Amino acid sequence: MVDPGSIQPQAGYSRASVTDRDRWDPTLAEYGGSAMQSWRWGESVQHFGYTVERVRIDGPGGTGLAQIVFENLDQGIIAHIPRGPVISGEWLPVARELFEAVDELAARHGAVSVVVEPDGPLPPDAAYDELGFVAADQPHYSPARTVKVPLLDDSALLNQMRSGTRKDVRRGQRRGVQVTRHSSSDAAAMTAFHELLQDTARRNEFEINDRSYYEDFMSVFGDDAALLLAHLGETPVAGVIVFSALREGVAMFAGSSTEHRVAGATAYLQFEAMRWLRDQGCTRYDLWAIPAADPTPTDGQWQRSQGDNWQGIHHFKVGFGGDIVTYPPAWQRPVRLAMPHTLATADEHVALTIGMPTYNDFDGVYFTLQALRLYEDLENTELLVVDNYGCETTQAFVEGINGRYVLATDAVGTAAAKNRVFAEARGEAVLCCDSHVLFAPGAIARLKAYYRDHPDSRDLLQGPIVYDDLQTISTNFEPMWRGQMWGIWATDPRGVDPNGEPYEIWGQGMGVFSCRKDAWLGFNPAFRGFGGEEGYIHEKFPRRVPAASASPGCAGAIASDDGRGSRIPFRSSTSVGITSLASPSSGSILNPCVAISRNGFPRRSLPPWRPRHWHMELASHRSQRTPLMSLILLPPFEPRHANLCKLLTVEKR
């Protein structure tokens, strides 16, 4: 997970993801923020399935706030800032800092672009173009224009209306229209309103939601929202849902009856809504939306609104006076992946070496390194590639990005190459990973923070693996034999939480692991070929919590297998059972031998069980001309497998 503070802000500025309403709404109100940037508005859209983030920056130039709604559109996910952001002080430096934080959050959520819909005319120093913004593909995601009415005393409210609207308000009063106020828990009132809304939708040809949608909307706003119904006698004839936020009232949903049309009822209803919102402390009333351009009456007469024809809506709303607000078109720019770091140079302090052994896998090296450079904090970090095969293209790429390339073909095998990573590393700590691993954003920063917070750690650190579906997680190995391998994937709930505490594990795959350089105990130098490290190195590290530990937030690896399998030459005679044959306590290989499992090894390849008639020899040790041949019988394994195996010595050849 990427926090807005994971990249250093400019000098004097602080960044924070805001989770406390008291740090949000009062500041927005002070600087004139809009209702769509308010806390409750964010809660309402979140309730209906959108993801919402709030970021705040403070510094010598001023304060910036942005409530971001992540919307999944045809062109991909956008980070939408409706009627924002709110910027006080020096616009450009504050905006630059704020949008860097927005970009980080947007990248975390997979957004492809940031879309800004400013709240009203831009200040003279607003320079979105200098920040890389261009006109958005869609000019407006919210209404392009609205009417905002100052909430004055009753007499002034009426006086600022057009004469026709003022007459309608008084006509509604004279005809005995009564207005009642209700909450979302009033089922009868909500039903009556929804019926009025259905009537209006049929008449004016637009779509609406079911009743629960409007009930949920009001419940999120609580006491700041109200349903007002206009009645003639016992019959509801019109209704409106309004809410207040940041001293502004908003008319959100409205409907009226076709059968029971009462002259002046809707105008009087809006007048009463304004009065109630004024009593709640609001200073203006947003009638929410009018057409982007002034419509022209048909034959001198205003037509009722129908479909895209908003003549009637426009005529009705502008009649209340106030100001017609035209919003600027939206701005848009691609999400910028901030990279404030540079790799450590030869004479600089190296906190962490990220090293990877590779064997004929340029693609894996390329994408792992590029993902690290794009998404991770590589300050004071060394990138190291140990090539166990010899690929000039890999060498050119690694050296071209200021990484370090080491050719090591003398001993082919994963263990030998991983040992070489630690031998070559310049970092105080080393993260060793396979050349097809992608890390969750922020994983490297968390790992470096762990080492800073635990300067005396001598532990082996590993994290969970995330599968291709980006949902399934394996956190560790369990000590069981399956598929000619000792150890099977398992999931511990403690390892799923990226903010969880480290805890001891029995073992884990060796695609990603880390420890301090001077704490590395090493694989046996006689290991060859593919495999053999799992379990062995976990037994070798001293058993103390968290000697072999899962650190959920430190190294969350994604897609640790690209589906092509190992490219290192595999021979069963050198690989089967090598984990069990190496003694962690002495660091030496027990007499060259072959591990046979009745459960995991093909039965048809074995003669009947007559130990003294089995004469086998490890191909990789023929050069040592070892005269003694040992056979290891692997019954169902036990946790301390390496020390509990039964060794059977057979005759010399």
- Return the CATH number at 110: 3.40.630.30
Q: Are residues 478 and 592 in the same domain?
A: no
502 and 371 in one domain?
A: yes
CB 306 within 8 A of CB 315: no
**CATH number of the domain within which 485 lies:** 3.90.550.10
pLDDT tens, 490-512? Answer: 999 888 877 778 888 888 888 99
Q: Is 7 a domain residue?
A: no
pLDDT computed for residue 564 by the predictor: 46
Q: Residue 591: pLDDT band by 50, 70, 90 thresholds?
A: very low
Is the pLDDT reported for residue 200 higher than 90? yes
My answer on whether 103 and 215 are in the same domain is no
Are 366 and 463 in the same domain?
Answer: yes
Residue 196 inside a domain? The answer is yes
DSSP characters over 473-504: EE-EEEEEEETTEEEEEE--GGGT-TTPPPEE
Summarize the confidence of residues 130-149 as an average pLDDT: 93
Query: How many CB atoms sit inside 10 A of residue 649's CB?
Result: 12
> In Å, how far from its chain's centre is CA 565?
29
Last residue of a domain, one of 120, 142, 164: 142
Does residue 345 belong to any structural domain of this protein? no
Q: Determine, yes or no, domain membership for 583.
A: yes
| Domain boundaries, position 154 | 145-326
Q: Read off the pLDDT of residues 187-197 as tens digits, 9 standing for 90 and up.
A: 999 999 999 99
Mean pLDDT of 37-42: 97
User: Average pLDDT in the 276-305 region?
Assistant: 83
Q: Is the pLDDT of residue 36 over 70?
A: yes
Q: Grade residue 520 by pLDDT with cuts at 50, 70 and 90.
A: very high
Residue 263's pLDDT is what? Answer: 92
**479 in the same domain as 429:** yes
- Among the listed residues 127, 123, 72, the one whose alpha carbon sits nearest the alpha carbon of residue 99: 127
Residue 443 within any structural domain of the chain: yes
Instruction: Examine the fold and report which residue of 310, 326, 342 is the final residue of a domain before the chain moves on.
Output: 326
Q: Which of 118, 142, 166 is the last residue of a domain?
A: 142
Six-digit token string for 357: 């052994």
Q: Are residues 150 and 136 in the same domain?
A: no
Between 486 and 159, residue with greater pLDDT: 159
Q: Helix or strand or coil: residue 329?
A: coil
Which amino acid does the sequence have at 400? G
> Considering the domain boundaries, does residue 477 fall inside one?
yes
Domain identity same for 522 and 635: no
Q: Would residue 298 count as lying in a domain?
A: yes
Cα 367–chain centre separation: 20
- Is the peptide bond between 85 and the residue preceding it cis, with omega within 30 degrees of 0? yes
What is the number of domains present in the chain? 4
CA-nearest of 628, 639, 548, 562 to 592 is: 628
- 538 and 553 housed in the same domain: yes
Q: Are residues 430 and 525 in the same domain?
A: yes
DSSP state of 327: P
Is the residue at 343 inside a domain? no
Whether residue 94 is found in the same domain as residue 201? no
Q: What is the pTM (predicted TM-score) of this model?
A: 0.57
- Shared-domain flag, residues 523 and 411: yes
380 and 484 fall within a common domain = yes
